[in-house]
Amino acid sequence: MISMDALAWTGLFIIVGVVLRAKVPFLKNNLVPASVIGGVLGFIVMNTGLIKDAAAGDFGSIAGILWSFSFANMGLTLAVAKQGGEKKRTLKERMADSQFSGICGMGFFWVVPYALTGLLGYGVLKLSGGFFGMDPVYGLQVPFAFAQGPGQSVTYGGMMEANGVVNAVQVGVTFAAAGFLVAFMVGVPWVKKGIEKGLAPYAGKMSGGMMSGIFEPDEQQYYGKETTHPGNVDTLAFHFSLVGIAWVCGNIICRLLGTLPGFAGEMLSGFLYLYAMLAAYVLRWIIGKSGCSKYLDRGTQIRISGFCIDMMVTSAFMAISLEIIGSWIVPILLVVLAGTLFTYITTRYFGERFGGKHGFERTVAIWGTLTGTNATGQALCRMVDPERKTSVLEEMGPINAVNVPACYVVMPMIIAFSAGEVSFGLLTAALVGTAAVFLAGMLVTRTWGKKTYDYRKGELYYTVDEKE
């Protein structure tokens, strides 16, 4: 359950982060999000023992629950965004469209670090963990933390703890929080350098609001509309309630699948975020068929998603307890460093070769997604495409349809290995094989080909459409 005390403390530190972002030049110039600033400060305060009415586990619960809730909300949001009756296109037409390069390129590539960074983390701890009493199995949590975020770190860490891996949730949340830091510490300078090199032709100039993180009156905009009468039900409450229906349905599916015998029940019952999102899609279909889509507001749904992500990021930092993982901090940092380097090198290489246009925009978007969450990737993408002149932000939803099959291999194999049910050889074969299959998918779809830009040289190898 969510602790209201923990939720309030999370909000307090977000406000502190907002103030510091607006006032401290270093934070302003580097565009550090308030949720990250507040999270780091909250982590420090939590570990000094000054907060007495909330424990680290309370903040971990917030991160886990809001992650699944954001996915349920995503199902409704995507449906509303598609209103307008766009003409259906054939597969040939979709393949010719530049969006195909982004959806398949980012979607297939996402699986490579997701499948392989766990083995890398295992190897690092195999070499260094023994000096600190840290089992190599903890290194297998890196893909959950970096590529999926704190919510899945809590969920899958809980499964590993059930298999006897003590404090797996704490380690997973720590990896996830480190991922958020890496996403922006590497991503923001990467973005700014790319803009300077001319690789982001639609970036424009950074506004004062973007730098300070707060819009002055002349920059402020409306983000939604009222679709229900406030004397009946508030519009925000109405939309939250719709997401709640999807959440309840997702929980029911989890409980039903949990009745399956053995490991199958344990594994399949852990995908609340996925089942809630699927239930949201079904709910959206019902709403559309009944002609009630006109009562949904995309702006409100986007704000719900933003709320979930900001609270999740800050609470993830505050969920880290040095009392528990303090003696392992050195090997954890070594694993984070190795995972960061591998993800950066592969993202640099493949990002230049996705094909189509908007290569740099896609590169920074998938970098943010692979080290934080989909929302982190969107945040970095908005820096290089603030007016949405490219198709990259629209591509970031569909990439989940491309990479989801890999989750049904990588996660079960890691959980099974932590339970001693499969050998390390079989685990390695499954994870490497998964990466190989998706790399082959890149070759087949021609999203692993010639460079479309060169970051080092600062050259674009396609013509910029001035009409975009």
CA 463 – CA 441 distance, rounded (Å): 27
What pLDDT digit, counting tens, does each position of 22-71 carry? 999 988 887 788 888 999 999 999 999 889 888 888 888 888 788 788 87
Confidence of residue 209 (pLDDT cuts 50, 70, 90): confident
Looking at every residue in the chain, the average pLDDT score rounds to 87
Q: Would residue 2 count as lying in a domain?
A: no
Neighbour count for residue 339 (Cβ, 10 Å) = 29
For residue 415, the enclosing domain spans: 28-83+95-207+230-458
pLDDT for the residue 83:
41
The amino acid sitting at 157 is G
CA 320 – CA 174 distance, rounded (Å): 6
pLDDT for the residue 98:
65
Q: Would residue 23 count as lying in a domain?
A: no
Q: Would residue 88 count as lying in a domain?
A: no
Q: Would residue 6 count as lying in a domain?
A: no
Q: Would residue 5 count as lying in a domain?
A: no
pTM value is 0.83
Q: Would residue 441 count as lying in a domain?
A: yes
Please give the tally of structural domains in the chain.
1
pLDDT for the residue 468:
53
Q: Would residue 281 count as lying in a domain?
A: yes
Listed residue (37, 32, 42) closest to 62, CA to CA: 42
What pLDDT digit, counting tens, does each position of 80-116 carry? 344 444 455 544 444 445 678 889 999 999 999 999 9
Q: 110 CB contacts (<8 Å, ≥6 apart)?
A: 147, 366, 369, 370, 399, 402, 403
Q: Would residue 315 count as lying in a domain?
A: yes
What pLDDT digit, counting tens, does each position of 391-414 carry? 887 788 778 778 888 988 999 999
